[in-house]
Chain A
Amino acid sequence: MSERDPIIAQEVIDRAFRKKGPKQYTLWVDLEYCIGCHACTMGCKAENNTPVGVDYNRVIEVEEGLFDNPKQRPELQVYFVAMPCMHCGKPACMAACPVGAITKRQEDGIVLINKDRCIGCRYCAWACPYGVPTFNAEAKVMEKCTLCVHRVTKGLLPACVETCVAKTRFFGEMNDLVNLIREQRSKRVFLGGASSTVPSVVYTK
C-alpha cells in the first residue's frame, strides 16, 4: 500500500478553529488504515507527560475469525481500535462524579476533569462505557484524554493526530467531519452500537 494523500483538507481544520459559538471538537479515526503502531499512544504520553499506567489514548487489538481447520485458508483478520476519550454529548462520567469535578465545555464540547476537585473515587471509570478514565496512583486523581486542549486552544492539532503515521486520525468539528465522511462515502461504524452517552469520536472502516 502506498502512502495515501491526506484525505482531510487543511481547510476543514481551519474552519473548525474559526467556527464561533458552541461546537464539538472531535476526532475521526479511520480503522481501515490503522496499522496498530501505537504512535498515537506514545505521542500522547510524551505530550501530556503521563506516568506509567496512565494512558489517555489506548489502541486495542481485535482479532476476528477462526482458524480451526489447518487444511483450509485461515479466516482471520486483525484490526486496531484507537480509544481516546469520546467527549460524549451526555457524559456518563460527568453524571457519576460525586463532587462535580467533570465538566463539558460549552465552547468546544471537550470533557475535562478538574484535578483540583477530583477526589480519586474512580466513579467516572465505573460509569464510562468505554473505560477511558484512568487512575493516577501517584496523584490519587483520575485522568483522561483532554483532546490536547492546551494545543487546540492555540490552534494546533492534538498530538495523536500529528503523530499518526498512517494518517488515519483527523481532527475537526463534529458536523464537518460527519459531512466529509458522507461525501467520501466511507462506512461509519459505531462502538458497541449506538450508545446512550452520545459519543462524539467518529469511526469509519
Chain B
Amino acid sequence: MTKEASHSSVRPQVAGSLCSRFRTTKSDCALCEEVCPKQAVRLSNEGPVISEQCVGCGACYAICPTAAFDLPARADLAIIEEMRDSDDPRPEQPYAISCRRADTTAELVLPCLGRLTEALLVEPMGLGASAVEIRRPACEKCSLTKAVTSLDLVLQRARGLYEMVGLAGGQLRERRVALRAAKQSAPPDVSRRGFVGALGKGALGLASLAIPTPEAKQAQPPADFRKILAERPENRKRSALLESLKGFSPARTMAVPAQNALLADIVVSRKCSACGTCVLLCPTMAISLIEREESFCLTFRPAQCVNCRVCRQVCNQEALDFKAEATLNSLLGDREKTLLQAPQKTCPVCRGRYLGGDDMEFCPLCLDRVRKQQSMLAKLG
C-alpha cells in the first residue's frame, strides 16, 4: 500500500529558468505565490525562491504550469511508478486519495490535497479502479487551507479528461472526512553540550565565510541568457500526465474553454514578423521553428502546451492568438501541426529575416522606420 512517505519535509527544487516570470517580464503569473499556504514562495524576475517557511505541501508543484518546481523525492512520475508496482489500485475497487491530516488509511496519502495533479487522478482509472475517491477533510480549518484553492480546478480538469476517454465524470468523487488534529512536534531537548557544539559549528561556518576562497575571487562569467532560454529540460509534470493517459483511447472529442484549460490551441496569422520570440520563450518547446533559407515554418505540439500564455503575452504583432476552446484529445498522442508556413527573405537594409513574397523588397520594420521618420519630420516646427 502506498503510504505517506517521509518526503513531506523535502522542499521542492526550483528550475528558475522554466518560470514564466524569468522568461519574460511581460508575464504576470503568480500562481505559486498565491497558492503557497506559508508565504514561502517569493517571485522575482529570476524565478521563484523558496524560503525556510516551506512545509513541503507540494501545492506550488501542482499549480505551476511550466513545471518550474520539482519534487525530487516523490514527483508525479514516481507516484505513478509506485501505483504500477503495488497491488493498489485493486481492479473494480474505488481508489482513495487523502491527505495526512485526514484518512491516512487511504491508498494514496499526500502531504496535502493541494498537491493533487490530474495525472494522479487519471492513473488509477488506467489501472482498473472503479472510481477515484478524494477523502477531503474540512480544509478550511487546516493551516494549509490556501494550498487547496486550486483543488477544484484540478478536479474539473480531471473530469474533462475522464469524459474524453469515456469514463463518467461521477467516477471522480469527493467524500468528506474528519480533520485530525495536527501533530505537535515537541521542541527538541537541548543539552548544554549539544548547545555549545551547535554554537561552535555555527561560528566555524561564519568564519569560513569570511575567508575568501580562490573560487570566490574569480568573477563569475555572465551566463548566456539566450543559452539558458534555449535549454529546456523535459516538462516532467506533463510527461507524467501523458504517461497516465497512455492506456486510454479517445471516446469523444472533448473541447473545453481555453481559460484555465490544461492546454491551448494556438493560431498564428500572417501578421507574424518571424521574430521567433514565441519559440525561444516557450517554456515547454511546444512551439518550434523549422527555418530554411527560403521558408519559415512554425510548428506546434499541443500535447506539450501547458497554457501558460507566455507566447501570446510576448507577441508584439498580435499575430499569435488562442482559440476559445482547446481540444483535450491532443493529449493522446504527441502530434505536431503547422501553425504558419511562409516564404522568408533577408532585408537588404537591416539584413534581418522577414516574411514576404516578391512584392516586398524591404522588411516591414525598415519600411515602418521610414514611414515613422517621415511623419515625424513633417511636423517639425
Chain A CB within 8 A of B229 CB:
yes
Binary interface profile of A, 82-106, with partner B (CB < 8 Å = 1, else 0)? 0100000000000011111000000
* Other-chain residue from B26, B222, B316, B350 in contact with A126 (beta carbon distance below 8 A): B316
A193 at the binding interface (Cβ < 8 Å): yes
CB pair B380–A189 under 8 Å, yes or no, is yes
Q: How far is the CA of A23 from the CA of B368 in the complex (A)?
A: 32
Secondary structure class of chain A's binding surface, majority of residues? loop
In the complex where A129-B376, A192-B379 touch, is A134 in contact with B222 (Cβ < 8 A)? no
A70 on interface, CB distance cutoff 8 Å: no
Q: What are the residues of chain B within 8 A of A189 when measuring CB–CB?
A: 380-381
Decide yes or no whether B170 CB sits under 8 A from chain A.
no
Q: Would you call A192 and B375 a contact (CB within 8 A)?
A: yes
User: Per a CB cutoff under 8 Å, which of B316, B352, B372 touches A137?
Assistant: B352
Given known A-B contacts A53-B351, A98-B314, A122-B352, A81 and B277 have beta carbons under 8 A apart: no
Interface membership of B290, Cβ < 8 A? no
Q: How many A-B residue pairs have CB under 8 A?
A: 91
Residue of B nearest to A114 (CB): B225
CA distance A190 to B379 in the complex (A): 8
Q: In the complex, which residues of chain B have a beta carbon less than 8 angstroms from the beta carbon of A116?
A: 222, 224-225
In the complex, which residues of chain A have a beta carbon less than 8 angstroms from the beta carbon of B226? 119
Interface pairs (27), CB distance under 8 Å? A53-B349, A53-B350, A83-B373, A97-B25, A98-B26, A99-B225, A100-B25, A117-B225, A119-B225, A119-B280, A119-B281, A121-B276, A121-B316, A122-B352, A123-B275, A127-B316, A129-B372, A130-B372, A130-B373, A131-B369, A131-B370, A134-B350, A137-B350, A189-B380, A191-B377, A191-B380, A192-B379
Q: A141-158: contact bitstring with B at CB < 8 Å (1 yes, 0 no)?
A: 000000000000000000
Q: Is the CB of B373 within 8 A of A131?
A: yes
State the 10 A-B residue pairs at the shortest beta-carbon distance, nearest first: A192-B376, A131-B369, A137-B351, A100-B25, A98-B314, A121-B277, A123-B316, A121-B275, A98-B24, A117-B225
Q: Is the CB of B377 within 8 A of A81?
A: yes
**Contacting pair A96 B316 (CB below 8 A):** yes
Q: Which residues of B contact A98 (CB under 8 A)?
A: 24-26, 277, 281, 313-314, 316
CA distance A97 to B314 in the complex (A): 9
**Interface mask (A10-45 → B, CB under 8 Å = 1, otherwise 0):** 000000000000000000000000000000000000
For the side of the interface on A, what is the size category?
Answer: 20 to 34
Query: Among the interface residues A60, A131, A191, which one has the most CB atoms of the partner chain B within 10 A?
Result: A131
Please measure, in the bound complex, the distance between the C-alpha atom of A125 and the C-alpha atom of B224, giving whole angstroms: 23
Asked if A62 is at the interface (CB within 8 A of a chain B CB), the reply is: yes
Query: B319 CB to closest chain A CB, in angstroms?
Result: 12
Residues of chain A within 8 A (CB-CB) of B295 are none
A122 near B275 with CB under 8 A, answer yes
What residue in chain B is nearest A131 (Cβ atoms)? B369
A135, CB-defined interface residue at 8 Å? yes
